[in-house]
């Protein structure tokens, strides 16, 4: 099916249930990372347009909050159906603007659909609690109610999944929502908004604005905005969290990561090697849950040469190349940054077993290509280890015991995800119990939870209290009203002509 989003044109904003032409004089070019060709231009929304987006979301919320939860759920059922019908269309659009290969792009869309399916059960997830006779002839009960206007600020690397983490659950809870997607790939989020309206969402309940720091700041200080969800870099996330909370708003900010996989000597070697390749270079390493550090314990270090061979066997390519393991980095600036970190690693003394900085893809000479890169002999003092690379680069470290591996992971400032590969149940239990990381995989390389759980990064990977999707997101997007109630028996009407008027 053909997308309503126009390639090679100027994108509108999405306000009040449809496209809204911007009057701005400032535009952002959206380019194909495989060849730098222009896909579209996105407007930097004016202050008046930001105000309009928030106001229409707030006005829509005032009506939407009165819609019964089962009716809101029906919109979500319609939406998940439309997303499935348009799955391949969305993936094609997403692949062109991100560079992801088609399989990866389809996975991006599908993981978002799973969260929408979770939103279909919103009625049971927003039930309150009751107790009769909390005191003599006094009853207590709590209601779960929406907040108002919520905001999502989303990154380039998952332009379908991460917006779908946010606005379906927030809207299902009864809120209005303003989405500010990444300016690097706004086409997919715009199409998501179109389908949301087609599913029956009321006009104005979801607004989409484009822009950068100026537009984000305008949203963060707006008095009608009650909660802010963010996924992105640690630097920007810290700013968003401080600004939002200083303006007395709820905030959840998912930021940097440095994810370790621990390989025990008793692990299945074949599984370790294949999973490390996928977890290390999949999506060109542009995932907050990518494995960027492999910690080999004891004799497992002998597998590193075979890992280098496995890395050398994969290659990047364009989105519709079925043989390509992954695509380009999102921008020339991202490629230069990753190449500089690779060069710095060499200068610091790490052994570069496989260097992807001279990678070329036939027919695409100006693409943002970085080949699979593998280092050995990396230490915790190197910049290669301390910084989040966000590229297809894996650092190998070697320790003598599980205790050393745990100490290494727990001393890292980030705590997003980690995993261990082992055939020993005791080792696995010790690891999951003692590791100070929010998401743990046992013989699973990238332990992203399904949406009936929550995405639970810890420490320097998350600013806030309540996490994304699942039960915690429902709590984040709602507030609880507690009622204590007493009625007096002498007030009961009596007599043959008793009438009780109900409204």
What pLDDT shows up at residue 7?
53
**Contact assessment for residue 475 and residue 229, using Cβ atoms and an 8 Å cutoff:** no
Residue 4 pLDDT: 47
Residue 489, domain member (yes or no): no
Percent of the chain at pLDDT > 70 equals 96
Same domain, 133 and 252: yes
Extract the tokens encoding 396: 């190998």
Domains contained in the chain, number: 2
| Interval 461-466 mean pLDDT | 95
Distance CA 457, CA 18 (A): 35
> Both 285 and 364 in a single domain?
yes
Is 4 among the domain residues? no
Same domain membership, residue 164 and residue 193: yes
Please check whether residue 431 lies inside any domain of the structure.
yes
Continuous segment of H or E residues that includes residue 332: helix 332-348
Residues 164 and 299 in one domain: no
What is the DSSP annotation of 114-141? HHHHHHTTHHHHT--EEEEEEETTEEEE
Q: Is the dihedral of CA 192, 194, 197, 199 positive or negative?
A: negative
Q: Looking at residue 8, what is its pLDDT?
A: 56
Tell me, yes or no, whether 213 and 281 share the same domain: no
Res 503: pLDDT: 47
Grouping H, G, I as helix, E, B as strand and the rest as coil, residue 329 is coil
Q: Please report whether residue 362 resides in a domain.
A: yes
CA distances, 220 to each of 12, 223, 243, 257, 278 (Å): 22, 8, 7, 24, 37
Q: Are residues 209 and 357 in the same domain?
A: no
Active site residue: 288, 352, 395, 396, which one? 288
Q: Is 424 in the active site?
A: no
Rounded to 5 degrees, φ, ψ at 195 are -70, -30
pLDDT for 219 beyond 80: yes
> Helices 69-85 & 87-98, crossing angle to 10 degrees?
70
Task: Give mean pLDDT, residues 455-467.
Answer: 94
226/351 same-domain check:
no
Indicate if 250 and 266 belong to the same structural domain.
no
186's CB contacts (< 8 A; 6+ apart) are 11, 30, 40, 42, 97, 159, 208, 210
Taking residues 333-344, what's their average pLDDT?
97
- Decide if pLDDT at 49 tops 50: yes
Asked if 314 and 203 sit in the same domain, the reply is no
Please list the residues that pair with 139 across neighbouring strands: 485
CATH at 317: 3.40.309.10
What's residue 1's pLDDT? 34
Angle at 396 between CA 461 and CA 280, to 5 degrees: 60
Closest CA to 239 of 253, 222, 259, 250: 253
d(CA 170, CA 466): 13
Same domain, 243 and 269: no
Give CA–CA dist 73/118, Å, rounded. 10
Q: Does 494 score more than 90 pLDDT? A: no
* Residue 212, token pair as written in the block: 């950068």
Instruction: Grade residue 3 by pLDDT with cuts at 50, 70 and 90.
Output: very low
Do 267 and 401 lie in a common domain? yes
Q: Which two tokens stand for residue 474?
A: 């429902």
**Residue 426 and residue 354 share a domain:** yes
**Residue 339 counted as domain residue:** yes
Q: What's the pLDDT at 44?
A: 98
In a domain, 493, yes or no: no
Residue-level pLDDT at 493: 72
For position 156, which CATH number holds?
3.40.605.10
pLDDT band at 5 (very low <50, low <70, confident <90, very high): very low
Could you tell me which residue, 399 or 487, shows the higher pLDDT?
399
DSSP state of 1: -
Give residue 161's domain range: 13-256+460-484
Per-residue confidence at 9, pLDDT binned at 50, 70, 90?
confident
Residue 498 pLDDT level (bands cut at 50, 70, 90): low
**pLDDT score for 401:** 97
* 239-262 per-position pLDDT tens digit: 999 999 999 999 999 999 999 999
Q: Using DSSP, state whether 389 is helix, strand or coil.
A: coil
The mean predicted confidence, pLDDT, of the chain is: 94
Sign of CA dihedral 356, 358, 364, 366: positive
For Cα atoms 403, 445, 267, give the angle at the middle one, nearest 5 degrees: 55
What residues does 129 pair with on adjacent strands?
Answer: 142
Instruction: Establish if 389 belongs to a structural domain.
Output: yes
**111 within some domain:** yes
pLDDT in tens, 398-422: 999 999 999 999 999 999 999 999 9
105 alpha carbon, distance to own chain's centre:
14
- Determine the average pLDDT of the residues in 157-176: 97
User: Tokens 């710095």 label which residue?
Assistant: 344
pLDDT at 496 over 70: no
Instruction: Residue 110: count other Cβ atoms within 10 Å of its Cβ.
Output: 16
The string of pLDDT tens digits covering residues 278-316 is 999 999 999 999 999 999 999 999 999 999 999 999 999
pLDDT of residue 492: 72
Strand partners, 482: 142
> Does pLDDT of 491 surpass 90?
no
Whether the predicted model's global pTM rises above the 0.85 cut: yes
Structure tokens at 170: 């927030």
The pLDDT value recorded for residue 497 is 66
**DSSP helix/strand/coil, 237:** helix
Q: Show the beta-strand stretches assigned E in 46-160.
A: 129-135, 138-146, 149-153
């Amino acid at each position: 099916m053909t997308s309503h989003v126009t390639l090679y044109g100027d994108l509108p904003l999405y306000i009040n249930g449809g496209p809204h032409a911007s009057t701005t004089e400032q535009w952002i070019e959206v380019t194909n990372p495989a060849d730098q060709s222009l896909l579209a231009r996105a407007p930097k929304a004016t202050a008046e347009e930001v105000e309009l987006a928030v106001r229409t979301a707030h006005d829509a919320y005032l009506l939407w909050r009165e819609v019964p939860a089962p009716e809101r759920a029906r919109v979500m059922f319609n939406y998940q159906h439309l997303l499935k019908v348009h799955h391949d269309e969305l993936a094609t659009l997403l692949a062109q603007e991100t560079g992801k290969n088609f399989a990866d792009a389809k996975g991006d869309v599908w993981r978002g659909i799973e969260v929408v399916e979770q939103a279909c059960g919103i009625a049971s997830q927003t039930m309150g609690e009751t107790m009769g006779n909390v005191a003599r002839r006094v009853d207590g009960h709590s209601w779960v109610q929406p907040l108002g206007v919520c905001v999502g600020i989303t990154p380039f690397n998952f332009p379908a999944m991460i917006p779908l983490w946010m606005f379906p659950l927030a809207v299902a809870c009864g809120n209005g929502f303003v989405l500010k997607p990444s300016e690097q790939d706004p086409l997919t989020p715009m199409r998501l908004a179109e389908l949301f309206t087609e599913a029956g969402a009321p006009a104005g309940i979801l607004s989409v604005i484009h822009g950068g720091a100026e537009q984000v700041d305008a949203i963060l200080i707006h008095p009608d905005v009650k909660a802010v969800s963010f996924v992105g870099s640690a630097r920007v996330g810290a700013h968003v969290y401080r600004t939002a909370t200083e303006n007395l708003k709820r905030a959840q900010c998912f930021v940097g990561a440095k994810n370790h996989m621990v390989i025990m000597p008793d692990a299945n070697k074949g599984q370790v090697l294949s999973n490390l390749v996928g977890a290390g270079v999949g999506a060109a390493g542009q995932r907050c849950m990518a494995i960027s550090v492999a910690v080999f314990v004891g004799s497992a270090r002998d597998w590193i040469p075979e890992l280098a061979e496995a890395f050398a066997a994969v290659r990047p390519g364009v989105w519709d190349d079925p043989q390509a393991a992954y695509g380009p980095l999102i921008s020339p600036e991202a490629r230069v940054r990753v190449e500089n970190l690779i060069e710095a690693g060499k200068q610091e003394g790490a052994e570069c077993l496989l260097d992807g900085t001279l990678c070329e893809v036939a027919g695409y000479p100006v693409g943002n290509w970085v080949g699979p890169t593998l280092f050995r002999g990396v230490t915790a003092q190197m910049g290669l280890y301390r910084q989040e690379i966000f590229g297809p680069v894996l650092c190998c470290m070697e320790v003598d015991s599980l205790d050393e591996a745990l100490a290494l992971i727990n001393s890292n400032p980030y705590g997003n995800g980690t995993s261990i590969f082992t055939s020993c149940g005791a080792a696995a239990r010790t690891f999951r119990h003692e590791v100070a990381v929010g998401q743990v995989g046992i013989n699973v390389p990238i332990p992203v939870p399904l949406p009936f759980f929550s995405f639970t990064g810890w420490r320097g990977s998350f600013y806030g209290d309540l996490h994304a999707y699942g039960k915690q997101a429902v709590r984040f997007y709602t507030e609880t009203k507690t009622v204590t109630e007493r009625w007096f028996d002498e007030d009961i009407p009596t007599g043959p002509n008793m009438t009780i008027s109900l409204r």
